[in-house]
Amino acid sequence: MIVGTSEIVGLIIKAGIVLFLALNIVPIMVYAERKVSAFIQRRIGPEKIGIYGVIQPLADALKFILKEAFYPPGANKFFYYIGPMISVLSPLLAFMAVPLIPILQPIRTELSALVVIAFSSLGVWGLLLGGWSSDNKFSLLGALRSSSQFISYEVSLSASILAMLIIYGTFDFVKIVEMQGENIVKWGVLLNPLAFLTFFISALAESGRIPFDLPEAEAELVGGYHTEYSGMKFAMFFMGEFVHLALTSCVMIILFFGGWNMPFIRISSLLPPDYLFTPVLEYAIGFGVFSAKLLLLLGIFIFIRWTWPRFRFDQLIRFGWGTLILLSLISIVISAIIAVL
């Protein structure tokens, strides 16, 4: 494959933009999580730094950066440092194949669904290596839990993605979104609600948040796999979790909620057809729609987190292998029937 300079530059610019957007999810999530949890719990939340405390995430980041770069004496230094990096890099890499709008997809490939699954599955290595290398029993238990949890739920996650791919007949996220269009009857969530359900639960489990936050269950395991981490290395795990959550939400929007399509109204019909900036405006509106859907989903995730207790490990695994995989297999069958019809 011959690539020209302009293509490489374009790729770098696109990748830069996606990276910027994906990483900016983190401060937004940090702030939203603090404010929403405060709202749910009848507290005020951050309010001192900036108006309504909007600069709080920046202060958090500064605190993380300024902390001592400590590592436990018994730790395996290499793996200890590489763990958080893997955990933040893998969802970021997966983001490269996620089209927020059609042109903003650095890895433009027919197999974008596979690329996303492949990269996001790597994230568990970070937790496993980090937990194992930090020479702490709580970390080790957390790492073991996280690996078995993520691998278990990976199965049903992939199965429910597969169910949707069967319906759409393609691996290409852009084509999937275009097929759904503005008519919500064609959106994945209505085509196969069961697949959506299994995907949603698996995504929740993959993100490692309540009610599936067993790897870091702070009550019994102190901090789980990141017990021994502090400063920027801890922040990387933290970022990895949020970026991963945003990633699965994006995939969910693309597969089930029509991506950048506005419900009921075709975006291009709103704009004058022969205006010079029409395509740009179309993309901008599409991006806005996508962002709105993303924020809504993330809000739901936050609400769930502050409402529910946590599963126990055996219940989690039983639920994953017993109920969820069964449901996701049924959803594949449903998809197959829909596809044949």
Partner 1 sequence: MGRKTNQEIFEKISLICKGLFTKSRVRDIPEFVVPKENIIELEKRLKQDGFNMILDLFGVDFYDNQKLKDYAEVNSRFAIIYHFLKIPDNERIRVIVPVEDGESVPSSCSLFIGADWFEREVFDLFGIKFDGHPDLRRIFLPEDYEGYPLRKDFPTKGVKEYIGTKYTPNFVRLKDRNKKHTEPLDPFEEGSRMVVNVGPTHPATHGTFRMIFELEGEDIVGVDLEIGYLHRGVEKNSENMRWEDFIPMTDRLNYLSAYLNNMIYTEMIERWCGIWDDVPARAKFIRVILGELSRIADHCVSIGTMAVDLGALTPFWYLFRLREEIYTVFEWAVGARLTTSGTAFGGVRKDLDEKTINHINYIVDKLVPEVIRDVDGLLTKNRIFIDRTRGVGKISARDAIEWGFTGPSLRGSGVAWDIRKVAPYGLYEEFDFDVPVATEGDVYSRYLVRMEEMLQSARIVKQALKNLPDDGIMIKSDKFANIPRLPEKKYVYTQIEPLIHHFKGMVEGVVPPFGWYYFGGEAANGELGYFAISYGKRTPWRIRIRPPCFAIYQAFRHMVLGHKLADFVAVLGSINVIAGELDR
Site for partner 1 (CB under 8 A): how many residues?
27
Give the residue, chosen from 201, 217, 252, 327, that forms a contact with partner 1 under the rule CB under 8 A.
Answer: 217
Q: What's the rounded Cα separation, in Å, for the pair 48 and 55?
A: 9
> Based on CB atoms, which residue is closest to partner 1, 219 or 340?
219
Identity of the amino acid at 76: N
- Residue list 270-329, contact with partner 1 (CB under 8 A): 306-315
Residue 68's identity, in one-letter code, is: E
Q: Which residues make Cβ contacts (< 8 Å) with residue 306, sequence separation at least 6? A: 36, 37, 40, 41, 210
Closest separation in Å from C-beta 41 to partner 1: 4
Binders of partner 1 among 106-125, rule CB under 8 A? none
Q: Give 284's contacts (C-beta < 8 A, 6+ positions apart).
A: none
Task: Considering only residues 5 through 64, tell me which ones interact with partner 1, judged by CB under 8 A.
Answer: 37, 40-43
Distances (CA, A) of 339 to 85, 163, 164: 41, 10, 10
* Residue number, 271 or 317, with CB nearest to partner 1: 317
Q: What share of the chain is helix, strand, coil (3-state, %, to 5)?
A: 75, 0, 25
Asked whether position 222 contacts partner 1 by CB under 8 A, the answer is yes
Handedness of CA 85, 227, 22, 97 (dihedral sign): positive
Under the criterion CB under 8 A, does residue 234 sit at the interface with partner 1? no
Identify residues 123-152 at the interface with partner 1 (CB under 8 A).
137-138, 141
| 213 near partner 1, rule: CB under 8 A | yes
Choose which of 7, 47, 110, 220 interacts with partner 1 (CB under 8 A). 220
Q: Check residue 211 for interaction with partner 1 (CB under 8 A).
A: yes
**Rounded CA gap, 179 and 186, in Å?**
8
Residue 106 or 224 with smaller CB distance to partner 1: 224
- Name the residues that contact partner 1, by CB under 8 A: 37, 40-43, 137-138, 141, 210-211, 213-214, 217-220, 222, 306-315
